[in-house]
Amino acid sequence: MHTANAEVRSAGFLASVREALAGTHQDFTDGSLDRAIVMLAIPMVLEMAMESLFGVVDVFWVARLGEAAITTVGLTESLMTLVFAVAMGAGMAATAMVSRRIGEKNEADAQVVAVQTIVLGIFLSVITAVVGFLTAPALLRTMGATDHVVQFGSGYTKMYFAGISSLYLLFMVNAVLRGAGDAATAMRALWIANGVNILLNPCLIFGLGPFPHLGVVGSAVGTTVGRSIGVLFGLWMLSRGNGKLKVAWRTVRLDLVVMLRLVRLSFGGIFQYLVQVASWVILVRMIASFGSAAVAANTLALRVIIFAILPSWGLSNAAATLVGQNLGAGKPERAETAVWRTSIYNLIFLGSVGVLFLLFAESIVHLFTSDPVVAPLAIKALRFFSCGNISYGYGMVTVQALNGAGDTRTPTLLNGVAFWGIQIPLAYLLAYHTSLGLAGAWLAVITGDSALAAMGVLWFRTGRWRGIQV
């Protein structure tokens, strides 16, 4: 009997997985909550895994060009964290607003929000591209790059900024799709973008076949082309209406009322992430003071750990969508239950990955580099970062759930305390005033993130997020 029941449950789960990957018109405000989590989380996890794969593919091929190339990518990516903060903050606002309108069964207003989101993404990308392209060498020097790295890598940084609209719009379009509950289409957009990136990167970096030999610049070109094709696919799906939200041509106009509301909510999300990534930029600057090998090691370890963190963002985004839609439907209790269940699943996942990284750090790092200076440091960094996986499980979900409810102010304050009140001062103290040195900076990362997780859980339990209006 037990075996038969287990087989039925297994068959039901596999059917839900297939349906989640295919994408269906599911009402996430009613029915089985576990099924709703699976239907949203699986494509969102795969979507985030695809986003992390961009970085891993880039560094895998770029590592063949030497330490200067890895350092260039690492420092540029550190600068890009500021761009990611803006894109993620604005995208988070879009998800909150679209999911709330979908929960209210108000598709017409959801379409308007989608259009304003894309317009906002275009505006932000133009400003970022111009500023970044013109100041690329100065930005690398600010991050601690040597003259050799600046000369070697400025082209890569300029190209990355020139194509920044593909990053912004991919984030924006997918945020709209996630808010609508159409996680499968957002996932496919990242799959397509990554497929193109994987094919183009080695061809453009090394000049394979008819492709030009662009060196490290080829990595930026491949990433931009891949993301651009992903954006076009997402826009095409939104215009076709085969998913859960169709954007009609009559809604393609500037709506100042909705735009101002989106911008207001975006500011909270942007500042929330800026607080976090600005602290990370300072940490990278501290790490750069220990030499280029330290930056390269930190870059490699971070790219690997993102394989765990970004899929967990997928689970967190699923919780945010469920919170937004169920609040719109007037079901706050269902929203809260969804958050706690998703937190448990995330805890199990991250804990398991953390153990694997601790046990096999050496083998994993050696897939990317065998440099006698960089590899030992990268192994140490990977093990440090993995020790924080357990605490991230609950914290990532609860903080993102607050964003899904439209409460962007609280996570901003929590980030300020965790990163500027704890992480940065502790990193400075441990790195420069104890024998830990570089390891002290990594230990501070774990401490700050764990503090954020604890505060996020405690605040979510107060239930004040239930009354937020968006």
pLDDT of residue 100: 94
pLDDT of residue 206: 93
Quickly count: other Cβ atoms within 10 Å of residue 141's Cβ.
Answer: 16
Distance of CA 253 to the CA centre of its chain: 29
**Measuring CA to CA, which residue among 75, 90, 238 is closest to residue 168?**
90
pLDDT tens, per residue, the chain with 470 residues: 555 555 545 555 566 667 766 666 677 888 888 888 888 888 887 877 777 677 777 778 888 888 888 888 888 887 887 788 889 889 999 999 999 999 999 999 999 999 999 999 999 999 999 999 999 999 989 888 888 888 888 999 999 999 999 999 999 999 999 999 888 898 999 999 999 999 999 999 999 989 999 998 999 999 999 999 999 999 999 988 666 788 888 888 989 999 999 999 998 888 888 888 788 878 888 998 898 889 888 888 887 887 667 778 778 988 999 999 999 999 999 999 999 999 999 989 888 988 999 999 999 998 888 888 889 999 999 998 888 887 878 888 999 999 999 998 899 999 999 999 999 999 999 999 999 999 999 999 899 989 999 999 999 999 999 988 88
**CA separation for the pair 388, 383 (Å, rounded):** 9
pLDDT of residue 8: 45
Six token digits for residue 340: 């706690």
**What does pTM read for this prediction?**
0.81
Q: What does the DSSP assignment read for 350-414?
A: HHHHHHHHHHHHHHHHHTT---TTHHHHHHHHHHHHHTTHHHHHHHHHHHHHHHHTT--HHHHHH
pLDDT of residue 11: 55
CB 182 within 8 A of CB 243: yes
| SS3 assignment, position 313 | helix
**CA separation for the pair 470, 458 (Å, rounded):** 23
**CA separation for the pair 300, 70 (Å, rounded):** 8
**CA separation for the pair 70, 156 (Å, rounded):** 11
Six token digits for residue 297: 């090691």
pLDDT of residue 218: 92
pLDDT of residue 300: 86
